Structures are given as structure tokens and as C-alpha cells.
Structure 1
Amino acid sequence: MKKIVECVPNFSEGRDEAVINAIAHAIRETKGCTLLDVDPGKSTHRTVYTFVGDPDSVIEGAVAAARVAKEKIDMRVHKGEHPRFGAMDVCPFIPVANITMEECADIAKQFAKKASEELNIPFFLYEEAAEHDYRRKLPDVRKGEYEALEERLKDPRWKPDFGPSEFVPTWGITATGARMFLIAYNVNILGTSNQAHRIALNLREAGRGDDDPGRLKEVKGMGWFVDEYNMAQVTVNLNNYNTTPIHVLFEAVKEEAKALNIAVAGSEIVGIVPLESLIMAADYYIEKENLFIYEEDQKVRLAIERLGLNSVAVFNPQDKIIEYIVAEPPEEPLANLTVRGFIEEIAARTSAPGGGSASAAMAAVGTGLGSMVAKLTQGVRKFEAVDSHMRKNIPTLHELTKQLIPMIDADTSAFNEYMEGLRMPRATEAEKTARTAKMQAGLKTAINIPLGTMRLGDKAWDALCEVARYGNPASKSDTQVGARALETGIWGAYQNVLINIKDIHDEDYKIKILEEANAMEKRSREKCAEVLAILDQI
């Protein structure tokens, strides 16, 4: 799955539109980067940019932005209300999807190295990228701001982590690092600003002071009144939504409001959010209310409704959820064909798509039919006695079907690496060795794709057996076809493993793979027979 990183660089320029736009243009024109927001402030004399992309792209985007700032911002003449010590003041990298905090810390270091070498500018590492504990918190790193920086850099303890040790007057210094995604979140209160602030003091981590901390960790907040909404709000920053998720804050506000005999009227998310944060909320309400919801879009809808995210403005998931904003259509030319088109492609005078793609498609049809029968059984009044069985197995079959569909296209590209090796030169012994290594790696890739199809299909059997045992009898033939299709799909993938593994030189690898593949093929025959035997009794 695609790795998504958010980058939120803050630049010490909030008044000159030409400079602000030039930096935005540099980010926007970087391949692989999506610029989500540009937020300038005249009094702070600062602009915050938000963009996302894959790891390599966000590094390039951040360097491109720094390149413009180096040319157009002069810290010697900068004054503003916000603390600052550099033209690019801070540049945090934030994990959004399929990437760890450790990887983002490494991205920050790669960025600092690349920018410092190209632009001759210094960097401190902070937050999760910090290599010294005393440099972890931004206020400590930025103490004294730009005006104190020249003297501070003379202290060996404050030698930059990257770039020149000498003071660069026009630039200052940049703090770069990795941190959790910050969610700006407001809960609407049908009360006064004083009541909202009282709730915020009870909940925020700092509370009312060291002797009276609040209930929730990693939360900053206050209360205010919003004239345009004619409501008060508990306004918070969730610094780590894994520590205090959105729904935990929302439910805590409801508890505090109930104690004050005032009402909560929904909430709003300011800016954008990771999908995970809303799925966490949905899963909480699904468990709390014993609901049966397994599809992502329905989970998102549930979170929106339970949190009241449409209360003051329409919450459009396509505009507010990062993963949806940057989503690209999957490159699945075969899976996106019509059924007729796919069969005609198989029938054409070409070697691909062939048996591997057909096997993946058949396995997907098998799990899909099982999913269909389970869904046609669940929720029907006369099958209420078996509802728990359907609830347990529908998500499994539904998800496996989704995972098997991309394998249709994966199989067609399985031999690309092998063919690249086949075309490599072999005039010298070194070239022959490199060519052989490439071809062997390619064969392993060609094996792992159908093996992956087998593994996915193998996970479906227990669920399919339960569907056969408890599913709607009127769909008996559908389950029968599903079992046969799944068995055939696994068998076909197995044949693709066998035909490629014979040329593998690594005997240990060959033994290990064959042992696993043989076991799955045997199990598919046994489980298919079990499904059909169950259905024969109906």
C-alpha cells in the first residue's frame, strides 16, 4: 500500500503574496506532492503550508520550498508576533498512512542533509528525530529566537545537526523532525464561553496547572464563543490521536456538559484528518452499540453522524480525509475491464493474461459468492438464529474478495523482473553472475504472486464452510459454485508456483515454498469437499 507522509513547513513570511505564492508553486510543481493548504498570517508574519506525498516526493517538495525561501526571505529584516528563528522556521514530517514515526524521523534527516548540502543552511533535529533529549521540544530549541541565535551557535552544545556551524544571517536556522498528526477539533456547546472553557480546563492535559491536571493526555484546549455559529465551543488540538482519539474527547465533553446541564450540538474538524482517526471512532461506536458495519464508507458515515461533524458545515469525506484527497485510481487494467473484455484478453494471441490471472479471478469469484450468500442471509428475519455466524464471516469474505481482485493484474507483471534479467549482457563472468541473480530474483517474484493468491484463498475456507452450514438454503448452488471456483483458483495458482519453482537454484527456498504450497493445495481439496458435503445434506 502507498506510504503517505504529511509535511507542514512554516515560513517566516506572511505578508508578501509574491513570496507566499512562489513557495506554494514550488511545492505544487513537485511531482508526487499534493498541496493541501496555505495559511498566511499578517500579524504573525508567518505562513503555514500543508502538503502530502510519498517519502521521496515530500523530501523533494520541502527542498524545493526551502530553495525559494533561501532566495526570497531575509531574516535580518523579519519581525512578527510568532516565535521564529529561521526563514523556514520549522519543517515537521508526519506519518499519515502505511508509514512509521521512525521512518518519518529518517525522512527529516534525509531532508536536512539534502537541503544543507545544496543550500548551505543549518538544521536542528527536534521531536522524534532529535538526537539529543534537550533538543526534543521546539520551545527549547527555539529559545531566544533569531535574535539570540548568533551567540547561541557559538556554544558546542548547540552545534547544528546538519549544515554550517556558523551563523547564516539571512536564513537563521531550521528545526526539522517528526511528530504525530495534529488534529484541530471543536465540540459545539449550547452554553456560554465560560462553560466551554471550564470543560476545556477539566479535559486538557495541562488542566488548571501542575497541581490540577486535566483528564486527557496530549490535549491542548480552551473555550470560546463563535458568533457566526451562535454557540460556544471547546476548541482543542489533539497532539496524538492514538493517545486521545477524537471520539474519546467528544464523549468526555458530553460527560462534562451533562454535569453542567448543558447540551452538546455536534462538532467540527478544522482542516484535514487521517482516515484512521475516523475509523477508530466508528469502531468505538460499532462496539458500543453492537452494530454490524464492515465497509469503509459506511464506517466513515457512522463516525460523521455520531460525532455530529455536519453540525456547522458539510463534512465531505473527499475533501477532509487525507487518503481520499490524494487517492489515485489503482493501476488495474485487467480488473477494470468488462467481463467480456477480460475473457477476450485471455483468449487473445498473447501469453498474458494467462492462467495466473484467470486463477486469481476464479478465486475472487469463489470468495465473492461466499460473501454474497452470507450477506443475503444476514439481517433476514427467518435467519436471525444464525445472524452471529454471518456477522463473523461476512467481513472475512468481503475483505478477501477485495484483496484477490488486484492479484489479477499482479500476475501479468510477475515476469517483468525475470525478463529484465534475461535481457542483461553476459559477455563476462561478472555479467553472467549479475544476470543469473536478476533472473533468480525475478523467478521468486513470479512465484510469490500466485503463492499470494493461494494464501488469500486459503484464508477463506473456514468462513465458506460456515456459510455452507448456516447460509440461506435457497443460495445452495451459489455456495457450491463458490467452493468449486475457489478450489480451482487455488489449484491454478499452485500450478503457476510449480512451473516456476523448478528453475530456482536456492534449494532451501524451494523446499520451504513447496511445503507451504502443497499444504494449501491439499487443504483446498479437502475443504471444498467439506463444503460440498455440508450442502449435500440440505
Structure 2
Amino acid sequence: MTEKQIIECVPNFSEGRDQAVIDAISEAVRGVSGVRLLDVDPGPSTNRTVYTFVGSPAAIVEAALAAARTAHRLIDMTRHSGSHPRMGALDVCPFIPVCGVTVAECVKVAKEFGRRLAGELDVPVFLYGDAADKGDHRKTMPQIRAGEYESLEKKLQDPQWQPDFGPSAFVPRWGATVTGVRKFLIAYNINLIATKEQAHRIALNLRTQGRGNGEVGRLQNCQAIGWYLEERNMAQISINLTDFDVTPIHVAYEEALKDAAALNVPITGSEIVGLVPLRSLLQAADYYIDREGLFILEEEHKLQLVINRLGLSQLAPFVPKERIIEYCLAEGDPSLRSVGPLGRGSVAALVRGVAARTAAPGGGSVAAAVAALGSALGAMVGQLTYGKRQWEEHDAAMRSAIAPLHRAAFELLPAIDNDTIAFSKYMSASRQSASTASEEALKEAAVAQAAIETVLVPLGVMRSIDAVWPQLAKVAALGNINCRSDVQVGARCLETGAWGAFYNVSINLDNVIDESQRLLFSSEAETLLKKAQDGCRHVLSIVENRIA
């Protein structure tokens, strides 16, 4: 199965007040086949609108060009003013790899867009980020945009600032555009009841460059500025987090809280501009769960916690399905985005597929499904124990047991489809035609790799099962005794899943060419099966001793 190629494009246009212009650009994007417009976020004070859309490499370029053509017709930079730094009608147009594409492929996309934009509209275009190749002095947006639109005419006369594409001449109505490739940039605003000066003072303390006098700020990969929103009668610290793994959202928020408290000004919440990666919010959830000693399992509940702690719905409701990029791209239940159609479908559909006259889905998929149910039963019994007064002395033990069982249940679901996919890849590789020696070598390599995948999927199921026996034993020993049959069924399901996965490892080992790999896989599978048998016997004996 070939992974779909998806690139995100987040162009910033210098118009945030004229709804007709904003809508016209939106319609231009929507008019391109193969592209989904995910978000449109205008700002009257900044006089800027951020668009977010996704599509294939070819489609994303066409959509960005369509939006730019519309902006070229409707936006006049000679009349523009706003609180956000800017240098052009289409100020910046970054491309971000989402799935199935590399940074290098996105660089090609950005350069194609820049070349075509300059050629069609006769405007200057600069490259930044991973696409920049004319020196370190023009890698980042602050470097390129320094002086903004007002100094652009003079800047273009400097040999150091010749555009990558298009004319060096100043185009008054347009200005200049910057395009390139970057990681997910999180545009994040923190709301204060304060003055613009107080907000900016905090921003200077936080941002990486500090006050620009050699004294750096506290946060890395952080750009920040303070401004005042007249239409909302409040100040904001406007932050760009250019690497949220280095400086996560919650870190920026908590650091701003410290400075605001020192100035005796209140922070009343925050907002995310455009879309945000799910992982960045789950980072924040883990932080608050750990800090406050909370017990939260479901992804939905973790997101509710973050929305509350960061005040993300103060200015407008934060709707996860509309604001988290993985949710926007997911079909069906977003919490099952990594699960294929078999695992996501109904039990009846899975049974029907297994019962059909086809080799897949087969025993490997069934083994994964049964194991997932076994782990889920353990989590269920734990949750029917936790928080109940008669077993409250075991709350801590249940908290430690439930989370791994719950996690394993959902981690096993993708294997239902992955087993079928691995089998199909092996069969497809085996059927490749090869009329030359080089083609035969390529076929042999593809078959060998596919054979290993058919072993790794069921072996992964066995590893997941092995990890939860201690937790299931804890539930068996301390959990709600009225649910003992559920623990017993869960143990048998996990053991059956291990047996089913073992059988699939064994039969697929015949196709693995490398003898040393065969021996390693076989040894591990036999060890995991023995541990599953012992684990099941141990759990059942615990239950039996409790009711004896």
C-alpha cells in the first residue's frame, strides 16, 4: 500500500478586514481539485489572514498559485497597515511535509511555486528555511522581512538581497513574497488585560533573540511580539513556536504566567492561530496530568484538559475536529486515525471479511483483534474498580494497571490491517515479473523485505501482549471481584492472541531467507509464547484463589 503524499500550505495574506477579499482567496483555493481548505483565520488588527490547506505536491502548488493570482488582483500594499510585520500581499507561503513526502520534496515544491509565481505575476520572491540556498543571512523570516514593506525598495537594490526569483525592481502594489519549507510552526497568542507595552515587555523576556542587545530571552525557537487588539480591547503576546519539541505550547504559557504575575497583570487565556499538530497538545496534557497528579486515559479528555488549562476557548470555541490537523485529515473517528478500515469497521464486517473466499484477512488479523479485546477487558475491569468506595484502597494500583492495558488495546488495533497489508505486499512482490538480472535482483530484495514484514507484524502483537501480563495480574488480584469472568476471558483472549500470532510467525518464517534472522525471530516467538502461557495460568490462578 503506497502512503498518500500530503503537504500542508499555510500562506499569510496581507488582508484581514475586507471579508470579500478574504472569501475570494478562499474560493480560489477551494476551486483546485485535490486540495482541502482546512482553516481561514483573519485578524483585523494585524490586517492579515492565515489560510491552511493540504493536498498532493502537484495540487498544493496549483492552489497556492490560484490564491496568489486572486490576491494580486485584489490587494494593494500601498494602502496596507497592520500590527503584524509584513513585506508583501502574499507575505509568506510555507510548505510543510505532512505524510508521504520528505523535506527535500517539499523544497522542490516551494521552488516550483516561487519560480511560477515570479514568472506569472512578475514579482520578487525570496526562499527561506530549508529551501534557502543564498547564505545564512537570509534563512529566517525575521532576517528577510527586516525593514518590512517600507524599506523593500531600497533593500532590493542591495546585491545581498537580490530575489531568488523574479525582478529586483520594486512592485508597489505587491511588495515581495517569501516561500520555503519549515517544520510545523505554531502561531500562538496569549491574552492579557494589560497595555501593549506590558505585553511586549513579556514578549521580549521570552523570545529567543531577547531585546536584541546580546541578552537572549528564556525560550528557544520562539519569536514573540506584544501588541494591542482594539477590536477585543485586550493585549496579546503573539508567539511563533518554530520547534514545539524544543519549546512546547504549555512552556510558553507557563513562562508568560510568571512574568505577568510579576507585573500584576492577568492572563485570561490563549488562542492558537490556524491548525496545530495533535502531539503538541498531548505534550501539554501530559504536563498538566503529571503536575496535578491526574488520571486521564481518553485522548478526548486530555484535549479537554488542555483547552481548559490554556484557556483556548476564551475568544472563540476551540473545536478539536476543526483545529487539529490529524483530526481534519482523519476519516471517521479521529481517535482511530492510525487504524485501517478492518480495525475501524464493525465486528460483522470483520467476520464477513474473514469468512470470505480470500486468504486475507486471516489468522493474523484475528489474533490481533482477539488480543486487543483481551487487553480491553482488563482495562474495563480496572475502571470498574477505580474510584469506587469499597475498593478505594486500591486506586493507586488500578491507576498504574489501567493505563497500559487501555493503551495496548488501541495499539493492537492497527495490526488487524497491518497483517493483511504485509501479506498482500509479499504476494505482490512475489508476482513481480523479472526479465533481466537487475530486475531479478530487485525482485528478490523486495520479496525478502516483504517476508520480514509478514513476521514482524505478528511478532509485534506478541510483544504487546507480553507487556500487559503484570497489569492484568494486578487487576485479577485487586480488581472488582464481581467482574472475575471478564478477567478470565481477557486472559484467555490474550493467550489465544499470542498463539495465533505465534502460528503466523512460524508459517511466515519459511519465507525469510536470512538464516540468522530466522533463528532470532523463532527464538523470540517461542519465548513470548511460553511467557503468554505462564501469564495466562498465573492470572487464572489468582482469580480462582480469590473465589475458592
- Residue 318 of structure 1 aligns with an amino acid whose one-letter code is K
Q: How does 1:316-331 map to 2 (within 5 A)?
A: 316-329=319-332
* Cα distance, 1:467 vs structure 2: 2.1
Q: CA RMSD for the aligned pairs?
A: 4.2
Asked if 1:356 corresponds to 2:364, the answer is: yes
Question: Contact (CA 8 Å) 2:130, 2:180: kept in 1 or not?
Answer: no
Find the partner of 2:109 among 101, 108, 111: 111
Distance 1:272 1:286 in 2: 23
SS at match of 2:342: coil
- Across the two proteins, how many residue pairs are aligned to each other? 522
Query: Normalized against structure 1, the TM-score is what?
Result: 0.80
1:413 aligned partner? 421
Query: Normalized against structure 2, the TM-score is what?
Result: 0.79
Find the partner of 2:228 among 224, 228, 232: 224
Question: Contact (CA 8 Å) 1:59, 1:110: kept in 2 or not?
Answer: no
SS at match of 2:449: helix
2:392 aligned partner? 384
* Cα distance, 1:181 vs structure 2: 1.2
Distance 1:396 1:322 in 2: 26
Asked if 1:534 corresponds to 2:531, the answer is: no
Find the partner of 2:9 among 4, 7, 10: 7
From the superposition, tell whether residues 118 and 136 of structure 1 become closer, same or farther in structure 2 (CA, over 3 Å): closer
Find the partner of 1:147 among 131, 141, 153: 153
Find the partner of 1:513 among 513, 517, 521: 521
Q: How does 1:5-404 map to 2 (within 5 A)?
A: 6-10=8-12, 21=24, 25-26=28-29, 29-31=32-34, 33-37=36-40, 39=42, 48-52=50-54, 57=56, 60-62=59-61, 64-66=63-65, 69=68, 73=72, 79=78, 81=80, 89-94=91-96, 103-104=102-103, 106-115=104-113, 124-131=126-133, 132-142=135-145, 147-148=153-154, 151-152=157-158, 155=159, 174-189=178-193, 210=213, 216=219, 218-222=222-226, 224=228, 226=230, 228=232, 232-240=234-242, 241-259=244-262, 263-329=266-332, 332-404=340-412
User: Which stretch shows the higher mean deviation, 244-253 or 349-358?
Assistant: 244-253
Structure 1 regions of 5+ residues with no counterpart?
none
From the superposition, tell whether residues 33 and 107 of structure 1 become closer, same or farther in structure 2 (CA, over 3 Å): farther
Question: Contact (CA 8 Å) 2:138, 2:144: kept in 1 or not?
Answer: yes
Q: Percent identity?
A: 40
Asked if 1:442 corresponds to 2:450, the answer is: yes
- Residue 110 of structure 1 aligns with an amino acid whose one-letter code is K
* Cα distance, 1:395 vs structure 2: 1.5
From the superposition, tell whether residues 209 and 119 of structure 1 become closer, same or farther in structure 2 (CA, over 3 Å): closer
Give per-residue Cα distances to partners, 1:63-89, cap 9 Å, x unaligned. Answer: 5423774798499x9646577777755
- Residue 239 of structure 2 aligns with an amino acid whose one-letter code is N
Distance 1:233 1:41 in 2: 14
* Cα distance, 1:234 vs structure 2: 3.6
- Residue 185 of structure 1 aligns with an amino acid whose one-letter code is N
From the superposition, tell whether residues 421 and 327 of structure 1 become closer, same or farther in structure 2 (CA, over 3 Å): closer
From the superposition, tell whether residues 284 and 429 of structure 1 become closer, same or farther in structure 2 (CA, over 3 Å): closer
* Cα distance, 1:280 vs structure 2: 2.6
Distance 2:6 2:250 in 1: 23
Question: Contact (CA 8 Å) 2:6, 2:57: kept in 1 or not?
Answer: no
Distance 1:224 1:199 in 2: 13
Question: Contact (CA 8 Å) 2:29, 2:35: kept in 1 or not?
Answer: no
Distance 2:423 2:216 in 1: 60
Asked if 1:454 corresponds to 2:451, the answer is: no
- Residue 439 of structure 1 aligns with an amino acid whose one-letter code is V
Distance 1:232 1:87 in 2: 27
From the superposition, tell whether residues 107 and 501 of structure 1 become closer, same or farther in structure 2 (CA, over 3 Å): same
From the superposition, tell whether residues 405 and 432 of structure 1 become closer, same or farther in structure 2 (CA, over 3 Å): same
Distance 1:112 1:181 in 2: 16
Give per-residue Cα distances to partners, 1:265-287, cap 9 Å, x unaligned. Answer: 44444443332333233222212
Distance 2:408 2:14 in 1: 49
From the superposition, tell whether residues 319 and 118 of structure 1 become closer, same or farther in structure 2 (CA, over 3 Å): closer
- Residue 136 of structure 1 aligns with an amino acid whose one-letter code is K
Question: Contact (CA 8 Å) 2:114, 2:179: kept in 1 or not?
Answer: no
Structure 2 regions of 5+ residues with no counterpart?
none
* Cα distance, 1:401 vs structure 2: 0.6
Distance 1:202 1:173 in 2: 30
Question: Contact (CA 8 Å) 1:74, 1:87: kept in 2 or not?
Answer: no
Question: Contact (CA 8 Å) 2:111, 2:180: kept in 1 or not?
Answer: no
User: Which stretch shows the higher mean deviation, 519-528 or 207-216?
Assistant: 207-216
Question: Contact (CA 8 Å) 1:181, 1:239: kept in 2 or not?
Answer: yes
- Residue 51 of structure 2 aligns with an amino acid whose one-letter code is Y
From the superposition, tell whether residues 521 and 267 of structure 1 become closer, same or farther in structure 2 (CA, over 3 Å): same
